[in-house]
Structure 1
Amino acid sequence: MAIRYFEEEGVKARLQHKRRLNTFIKEQVIDVHLDLKKVEINYIFCTDEGLLEKNIAFLNHDTLTDIITFDLSEQEDELQSEIYISVDRVADNAQQFGVSYQKELHRVLFHGILHLCGFKDKKPAEAQEMRRQEDLCLNAYFQEK
């Protein structure tokens, strides 16, 4: 069972089709990569400033970022996580990369889940595989419409 919550801290994420997105994430990402009894993921959309505070406080990074993923799981067969997303960064990145806000928002949503599935992005080869996985998710999700 997968439960996902979407919270907005002083912002409007403009996330569409939440129920469909929940189903896709569970069936096409989590169930493909993980074998778990229980999944609870809380997405929190915030501003650059809100995410920067968390980046400094919890990761000791004084930089802007689009996403921070926290795995709060206490048991091996369960996943509990909070994923913080800066809608300011998503909007700026969408403009910079020449894609729609919705496409970039979904790329970041999938990026956080992929981290929880074990994908990393620190080394060039890892980053390349992460991008490939993001693209697979994006293509599958937007084709389903």
Structure 2
Amino acid sequence: MIQFNYETNFKLESEEIIQSWISACIELYGFSEGELNYIFCDDDYLLKLNVEFLEHDTLTDIISFDYTMGKLISGDIFISVERVHENAKLFSQTIDNELHRVMIHGVLHYMGFKDKTERDKEVMRIEEDKCLDLINA
């Protein structure tokens, strides 16, 4: 089950479409959907989590807590809507495209994709694009 929670003045326009898209991406990689919770928040909210749980005193667009067991994808994905808007401008993307990229980025981490090395980042970007093609089709 995929749920969306809002801790800021933001709401997804098409929750059902996005739920279906995320489910399709999970199935594409041979995984099953468990409990996924998306929490949309602001920079301050996410910064507090970053300091408390990761000991990083920096702004970020996403923090994910992975509860995946085997092939059952589960976790909590916190997304700063403010960072998404800033990054969309920075990377000349639409807000929707940047938001979708961040949303699927967390799920891809749960499936084992990393982004620590330059090669890992390249692979992650390819997989993100593959998933984005599904929602943009």
Report TM bin, short chain. Answer: over 0.9
Q: 1:34 to 1:60 in 2, by over 3 A?
A: farther
Q: 1:35 to 1:134 in 2, by over 3 A?
A: closer
* TM-score, structure 2 normalization: 0.92
Would you say the 8 A contact 1:7–1:43 is kept in 2? yes
Q: For this pair of structures, how many residues does the alignment match?
A: 137
CA root-mean-square deviation: 1.4
For the residues of structure 2 that align with 1:112 and 1:71, how far apart are their CA atoms?
Answer: 9
1:5-35 Cα offsets, whole Å, 9 max, x none, are: 11110231x42221111112112x2112244
Unmatched runs of 5 consecutive residues or more in structure 1: none
The DSSP-based 3-state class of the residue aligned with 1:79 is strand
Residue 64 (structure 1) aligned with residue 59 (structure 2): yes
* TM-score, structure 1 normalization: 0.87
Shift of 1:77: 4.9
Structure 1 residue aligned with 2:46: 51
Q: 1:44 to 1:127 in 2, by over 3 A?
A: same
For the residues of structure 2 that align with 1:78 and 1:66, how far apart are their CA atoms?
Answer: 24
For the residues of structure 1 that align with 2:74 and 2:113, how far apart are their CA atoms?
Answer: 17
Shift of 1:99: 1.2
Would you say the 8 A contact 2:31–2:73 is kept in 1? no
Structure 1 residue aligned with 2:89: 95
The DSSP-based 3-state class of the residue aligned with 1:122 is coil
Unmatched runs of 5 consecutive residues or more in structure 2: none
Structure 1 residue aligned with 2:7: 9
